[in-house]
Chains A and B, each alone.
Chain A
Amino acid sequence: MTTARPQKIADYAPLVFPAVMLTVFFVVPFGIMVAVSFFRRVQGAFYEPDFVLANYARFLSVFFGEVLGFSLVLAALVAVVAVTIAFPFTYLLARLPRRRQVLWLVALLSIVSLSEVIVGFAWSTLFSRTAGITNVLVALGLMDEPMSLSPSFGALLTGLSYHAFPYTVLVLYPALARLDPTLMEAARTLGASPPCAFVTVVVPALRNTILATLIMVFVFALGSYLLPQLLGRPSNWTLSVLITDQAIYQSNLPFAAAMAVFLVLVSLALVGLSLLVGRKEAAQ
């Protein structure tokens, strides 16, 4: 495919619509948020325009540092869990007959249509003592008596991974569906058992896709603020929860904005770093 370089101003016309949309719905709100993060909070009122660094200064404490660290680790864990489960799942899905693939994809899309609230409440019921999955384990004789599994870090990780799973599958699906099936067959004729061929051929051949998906799920999990409150203990609350708390319940929008800006910068830096590492590996 050859594309001619744009010659005149009019050649840029197709870019106008997306540029306007991006500006109106992304650049402007983000700009407002950055501006607000430097505003001064008025106790008992809202905020007034100013240029103070107090919001950022307050953020530089051990407590918020720990919360930020926890949020990043949790999001990374969710990304790893979701991709680890979704990758083999999607690989098998892409090899099913067409009709059954469609059924699975429809089912996954219907999970996507569930809101975070419903997912959260469903899991808190499943993890409860009275109606949860431990009752099934007791009935099977694997446990002595039912217990509550929520709130806990495990419950939170499960809920977030579940919520991210269908998105992960949908992102991985095109690449895995396009993967040449003879690569696996070649590996098998060369002496690799099917699981060995999967690990030594399919996974490395798609490492860029896997890295991109990890980043997507990481960012997705970082923004979650309902599930930590529904399934986690207060110590499992993420930065997104604190931002929501400051913005809505404490009416401290400048501080919330400062935290949000910081979170964006940190996650952008991490994404950039992982892309850099990925490129370096590919170059070797």
Chain B
Amino acid sequence: MTSLVLENITKRFGAVAAVDRVNLTVPDGSFVCLLGPSGCGKTTLLRMIAGLEEPSEGRVLVGGDDVTRTPAHRRDFGMVFQSLALFPHLSVGENIAYPLRIRGVPRAEQARRVEELLALVRLPGFGERPVAKLSGGQRQRVAIARALALQPRLFLLDEPLSALDAKLREAMQVELRQLQQRLGITTIVVTHDQREAMTMADLVVVMNEGRIRQSAPPVEIYRRPADTFVADFIGITNLLRARRGPDGAVRVAGGFLAGVTLPAEEAMISVRPEDVRLVPPEAAAITGRVEFVRDLGASIEIYVEAEGQRIVAVASPRERPDLQPGATVGLALPADACVVLGA
């Protein structure tokens, strides 16, 4: 049982709270992504979990034990750093064996475990190589193998894939997720890349300005964002200002929106571009003018201007709507795809 519980974790640097009263429960064996823009406090939070920073307030519980004041080297967590922090004076095998050597594991056992870990990260036979001679992806795997050498209770990764090029990054995301599922290890990854978070996580924790804005499974984060920050940060969305008339009817971009209720007279509504349907203008509640058509091959984005608001709709190439900039078009916003946001 290595669930992680953060209770009211706060970290202040001077007067600034880098992490502000964070509460989070990570179930045993789950994969959690801390997601947010740079400077949102996600890395500081991870460092506090690892024991590299001490929280100003709050508690860190692992498997029910309070480890808030336990130094990093007694926590039994594996961590992969953004810089990877491979030891330049050691070979690949020696890097992976380092934690075993520190613990006084017998040499033969060290060698056996190194082989096992190299096989696990698909680098068999790389033990003798100097670290400097490896490619970016290989260095990545060595760092992962080293962090897993002691069979840690928690696996922590700080922006682990940010140094890789886009294609390799996508491949490593899938690989990392498969590895985690195979080992069943509780894993926490810090990232600013929402695609990465969506690919790997059981639970996405969106942070901004030191606070958790929403913590939910990826699909829910995408489909049901809690506020404008989350809606805007995760993927592309249409954020539209909606007004409730005295009769209770909701108006958006000059048209009525049936089936939606607002908590206040005015609120923001989020609609994903793929949910916006293009309809003939005669039958539509909302009409607008096509500003720009962006044909990306795999999908076509249509930028529509309606009553001063821009609405983006995505069509698949199979539909291939025959639209030119300047054309008038009707838009339908399905009520079940419209998320009314708190703030």
- Show the binding face of A for B, using Cβ within 8 Å: 180, 182-183, 185-194, 196-197, 200-201, 204-205, 207
Interface membership of B77, Cβ < 8 A? yes
B85 touches A193 (CB 8 A): no
A185 contact set on B, CB distance < 8 A = 52, 72, 79, 81, 85
Q: Chain A interface: which of B98-106, B160-168, B216-224, B233-241?
A: B98-106
Q: Are A191 and B99 in contact (CB under 8 A)?
A: yes
- Chain A residue with Cβ nearest B99: A190
Q: Number of residues in B with C-beta < 8 Å to the partner? A: 30
A186/B79 in contact, CB under 8 A? yes
Ranked 7 nearest A-B pairs via Cβ: A186-B85, A190-B99, A189-B79, A182-B85, A188-B72, A204-B89, A182-B81
- B residues in contact with A182, CB < 8 Å: 81-83, 85
Q: Are B89 and A190 in contact (CB under 8 A)?
A: no
Name which residue of chain B comes closest to A201, CB basis. Answer: B87
Q: Is B272 an interface residue (CB 8 A)?
A: no
Q: CB-nearest residue of chain B relative to A204?
A: B89
B97 → A minimal CB distance (Å):
10
Would you call A192 and B83 a contact (CB within 8 A)?
Answer: no
Cα distance A180–B75 in the bound complex, in angstroms: 22
Given the complex, which residues of A lie within 8 Å of B146, measured CB to CB? 190
Known: A180-B83, A200-B98. A189 touches B50 (CB 8 A): yes
Q: A192-B73, A193-B73, A204-B89 are known contacts. Are A186 and B81 too (CB-CB below 8 A)? A: yes
From residue A178, how far is it (CB to closest CB) to chain B in Å? Answer: 12
Known A180-B83, A182-B85, A183-B87; contact A189-B98, beta-carbon cutoff 8 A: no
Task: Looking at the assembled complex, report how far the CB atom of A190 sits from the nearest CB atom of chain B, in whole angstroms.
Answer: 4
Chain A residues, Cβ within 8 Å of B50: 189
Chain B residues whose C-beta falls within 8 Å of the C-beta of A187 in the assembled complex = 87, 98, 102
Asked if B55 is at the interface (CB within 8 A of a chain A CB), the reply is no
6 contacts between A and B (CB under 8 A): A180-B85, A189-B51, A189-B52, A189-B77, A189-B147, A191-B150
Secondary structure at the A interface, as helix, strand, loop or mixed, is: helix
Partner of B102, one of A180, A183, A194, A196: A196
Q: Is B88 an interface residue (CB 8 A)?
A: yes
Distance of A188 Cα from B70 Cα, bound (Å): 12
Check A189–B102 contact: CB distance below 8 A: no
Q: Please determine whether B73 and A189 come into contact, CB atoms closer than 8 angstroms.
A: yes
> For the complex, what is the distance from the CA of A187 to the CA of B75, rounded to whole Å?
13
For the complex formed, measure the closest distance between the CB of B316 and the CB atoms of chain A, giving whole angstroms. 45
In the docked arrangement, what's the CA distance between A189 and B102, Å? Answer: 12
Inter-chain CA distance A204–B79, complex, in Å, is 22
- B305 CB, nearest partner CB in chain A, Å: 48
Complex alpha-carbon distance, A179 and B83, angstroms: 12
B150 adjacent to A207 (CB under 8 Å) = no
Of the candidates A185, A186, A197, A201, the one having the most CB atoms from chain B within 10 angstroms of its own CB is: A186
- A196-B102, A204-B89, A207-B89 are contacts. A188–B83 as well, Cβ < 8 Å? no
**A169 CA to B155 CA in the complex, in Å?**
38
Q: How far does the alpha carbon of A187 sit from the alpha carbon of B101 in the complex, in Å?
A: 12
Nearest CB of chain A from residue B156's CB, rounded to whole Å: 8
Q: Mark B225-237, 1 if CB is under 8 A from A, else 0.
A: 0000000000000
Known: A180-B85, A200-B102. A193 touches B71 (CB 8 A): yes
Partner of A191, one of B52, B82, B90, B102: B102
Expressed in whole angstroms, the minimum distance between the Cβ of B106 and any Cβ of chain A is: 16
Chain B residue with minimal CB distance to A208?
Answer: B89
CA distance A188 to B50 in the complex (A): 10
Which residue among B51, B78, B98 has the maximum number of chain A CB atoms within 10 Å of its CB? B98
